[in-house]
Structure 1
Amino acid sequence: MMHKKDAASVVLTVWMLTLSGLLYILNIQDLRLFIATALVGFFIIVYLIHPTYSRPGYIRNINRMAIACTGLFGLVIVLRILELVGG
């Protein structure tokens, strides 16, 4: 039987491959869109695998990665807003 953290890496890989394939088929070449949607998938997976009653050691690293990804996601959104405002 697969553990949650092993299944999460498989699901995230499938999500990102599906997303990149869809963006390729639709001929969308915006890397920021890919990063933003990949991070949304990452946040959903982190939320789903977060244990409720225990705190394993790997959760601390996942929380740090989630904080870094939140900063990256915010940067992508800010750059997108500046691009739209700037013309």
Structure 2
Amino acid sequence: MTLTLEQLDTDEALRAAVELPWRTVVWDDPVNLMTYVSYVFRSYFGLPRAEAERLMLLVHTEGRAIVATGNREAMERHAQAMHGYGLQATVERAEP
């Protein structure tokens, strides 16, 4: 079987897109206390207190924080877990 250059380019682009990391983003909301958000980050992600508080402050002041980066399936699991804790979270593709 002979592949054309167009097929090779398409295959290469698809492979690059699949390999790009994804990230889980937690969004600010008017419901959860900052201490609770910090607690969730410490308990679920196992983050040290200082890092959990840094991310919580990003959520509070910037409106969002990237809490994890990796393959899409893992990031979707993290987002679902955040929903289970009552936090708003989404999954997005990381920029190259």
Q: Is TM more than 0.5 here?
A: no
Smaller-chain TM-score bracket: under 0.3
The structure richer in strand per residue is: 2
The structure richer in helix per residue is: 1
Structure with more relative contact order (C-alpha pairs < 8 Å, separation 6 or more):
2
Larger radius of gyration: 2
Structure 2 length-normalised TM: 0.24
